[in-house]
Amino acid sequence: MMFSLSRNVLRGLKIRRIQEIMARQSHQKHSPDFHDKFGNSILASGVAFCFASWVFVCTQIGIEWNLSPVGRVTPKEWREN
C-alpha cells in the first residue's frame, strides 16, 4: 500500500515536472536556425538542378526516343532446306 502510494506520488511529480518544462519551452522565442532561413531555397535549387540535368540528358546525349522500325527493318528471305 505504501509503495503504491509513493509510486503514484512520484509519477505525478514527474508528469508535473514534464508539463512545467514543456510550458517553459513553449514560451521561449524561437530563433530561426539554418534550416528555417535557407531550407526552402536549398530545396528549390536542388529541384531546379535535377530538372535541368534531366533536360540536358534527354536532349543532348543523342538517345532516339520511340522511333518506329517500320521501313527500316527488312525481313530476311525464307530458306527451305
pLDDT of 12-30, one tens digit each? Answer: 667 777 777 777 666 666 7
Helix H segments across 28-75?
34-60
Report domain extents, the chain.
Answer: 1-26
- CA distance linking residue 72 with residue 66, whole number of Å: 14
pTM for this prediction: 0.43
The number of angstroms, rounded, from the C-alpha of 41 to the middle of its chain's C-alpha atoms is 15
pLDDT of 6-15, one tens digit each? Answer: 666 667 667 7
